[in-house]
Amino acid sequence: MSAATLFLVATPIGNLDDITLRALRVLETVSIIAAEDTRRTAKLLSHFNIHTPTTSFYDQVERERTPRLLARLAAGESIALVSDAGTPGISDPGYRLARAAIEAGFRVEAIPGASSVLTALVSSGLPTSSFSFAGFPPARAQARDRWLAELGARTDTLVFFEAPHRVRDTLAAILRVLGDRPIAVGRELTKVHEEYLRGTVSDVLARLDTPRGEFTIVLGGAVPHDDAPPPLPDPPSLLSAFYQMTKNNGMSRRDAISQLAGRYRVGSREIYKAIEEAKLSVE
């Protein structure tokens, strides 16, 4: 590396095979790796037989460590910044270091890779042409309700994170404040036990088992007045769509009902009832 550079290196969000060749090369050749959790990063480095030294860099030490890292850049050393998973600086420490390095005249370069935000978004089945990332909701109930209300008028898809011990309360708050919107909830993304729950908020809340792992939530935006949901088709047409999804496309009954509920923005019970009525009419 010819010039001292701060590299913002994306690391896997679960599956280690998602590391890029470029990221491995940078992690091998920098002078030091600034890591949100050095223990977690050590497992990644060990897996790929990388022996670059690390230093911790998290919220509580960011202000203290930033001048030290800038001094190393000034001495001609290149640095890689990584978070626990995904792209650093996204609801993780890092953007202030990047800004300080830019202001000091150092080169800052992003090494793209895994992102739980984009992974969840493109798998949600919700519109991707325009979306907003909102980080973590406030932990306190009243602040969370205000946060939701402020975002509620947006028509673009909303993506945010939530901790397992708060995800039920947050889904209940969405239902209360914003109504029964289409939603996709992902957990353990790219890992062995990856799971997506798709449908309306009430449906997903009813199906959510004991929460484990970090959650990425993709929520449908507000419906513009000129973009109302399509009217619910008659039961025979709905049954035909259901069979197309389950028999021809291999979807499970539950997922097909949830997707139809999200498409027409009605509850899953209403879809189920209409399908059962259509079945009786053709018997």
Q: Is residue 189 scored above 80 in pLDDT? A: yes
Is pLDDT above 90 for 160?
A: yes
Residue-level pLDDT at 39? 94
Is the pLDDT at 54 greater than 70? The verdict is yes
Q: Give the range with max mean pLDDT: 180-184, 211-215, 228-232.
A: 180-184
Whether 124 is in a domain gets the answer: yes
Highest mean pLDDT among 17-21, 57-61, 205-209, 251-255: 17-21
Q: Is residue 86 part of a domain?
A: yes
pLDDT greater than 70 at residue 100: yes
Query: CB–CB of 184/267 below 8 Å?
Result: no
Per-residue confidence at 95, pLDDT binned at 50, 70, 90? confident
The closest of 153, 16, 33, 167 to 88, measured between CA atoms, is: 33
Cα 117 from chain centroid? 3
Tell me the pLDDT of the chain averaged across its residues.
Answer: 90
Three-state DSSP class for residue 231: coil
Structural domain for 63, as ranges: 5-114
| Contact (CB, 8 A) for 128 and 118 | no
| Residue 205 belongs to a domain | yes
Answer yes or no: do 98 and 192 share one domain.
no
pLDDT at 130 over 90: yes
Whether 105 and 126 map to the same domain: the answer is no
How far apart are alpha carbons 135 and 117 in whole angstroms? Answer: 10
37 pLDDT above the threshold of 60: yes
Tokens of 47: 């897996």
Same domain for 136 and 58? no
Asked if residue 228 has pLDDT above 80, the reply is: no
Which residue type sits at 263? R
Looking at the structure, do residues 15 and 71 belong to the same domain, yes or no? Answer: yes
Tokens, residue 258:
């949830």
On whether residue 226 sits in a domain, the answer given is: no
User: The domain spanning residue 49 has which CATH number?
Assistant: 3.40.1010.10
96 versus 157: which is more confidently predicted?
A: 157
Residue 224 lies in a domain: no
Same-domain status, 88 and 176: no
Whichever domain contains 130, its CATH number is 3.30.950.10
Per the structure, how many domains does the chain have? 3
What is the C-alpha separation between 206 and 208, in angstroms, rounded? 6
Q: Are residues 124 and 144 in the same domain?
A: yes
More confident residue, 25 or 92: 25
Final residue of a domain: which of 75, 91, 114? Answer: 114
Q: Name the residue among 158, 196, 197 with its Cα closest to residue 177.
A: 158
**Do 98 and 127 contact (CB within 8 A), yes or no?**
no
* Domain endpoint, select from 219, 243, 259: 219
- Residue where one domain finishes, among candidates 171, 186, 219: 219
Structure tokens belonging to residue 78 = 């290149």
CB of 221 closer than 8 Å to CB of 156: yes
262-279 in b/e form (b: 16+ CB < 10 A) is: bebbbbbeebbebbeebe
Residue 228 domain-assigned (yes or no): no
Same domain for 173 and 93, yes or no, is no
Is the residue at 227 inside a domain? no
pLDDT at residue 247, rounded to an integer: 83
Give the residue-averaged pLDDT of 99-127. Answer: 94
pLDDT of residue 282: 67
Range with the poorest average pLDDT among 20-29, 117-126, 185-194? 185-194
